[in-house]
Amino acid sequence: MQVIWDQNKCSHAGVCVRSLPNVFKVVDGQFVIDTAKAIEDEVVSVVNQCPSGALQVLK
């Protein structure tokens, strides 16, 4: 599974980072997504909670 992030849509609400900090994080000023750090259902659930729609799951 791959998650893509559209920085132009992102409202920086932080839902993803607070919900799954091992998957969604900022490293050296760059937004990093590591889907291997959680089970697929958890990642999909957080992506679906993104208030701006900046995150999308590609299967």
CA–CA distance, 54 with 8 (Å, rounded to integer):
8
User: What pLDDT, on the 0 to 100 scale, is given for residue 27?
Assistant: 96
User: What pLDDT, on the 0 to 100 scale, is given for residue 59?
Assistant: 77
Count of other CB atoms within 10 angstroms of residue 30: 7
Q: Give 18-42 pLDDT, tens digit per residue.
A: 999 999 999 999 999 999 999 999 9
User: Which CATH fold topology does 2-58 show?
Assistant: Alpha-Beta Plaits (3.30.70)
Mean pLDDT of 4-21: 97
User: What pLDDT, on the 0 to 100 scale, is given for residue 7?
Assistant: 96
CA–CA distance, 47 with 45 (Å, rounded to integer):
6
User: What pLDDT, on the 0 to 100 scale, is given for residue 2?
Assistant: 97
User: Quick check: 4 and 56 in contact, CB under 8 A?
Assistant: yes
CA–CA distance, 33 with 4 (Å, rounded to integer):
8
Strands (E), 1-59: 2-5, 24-27, 30-33, 55-58
User: What pLDDT, on the 0 to 100 scale, is given for residue 42?
Assistant: 98
- Rounded mean pLDDT of the chain? 97
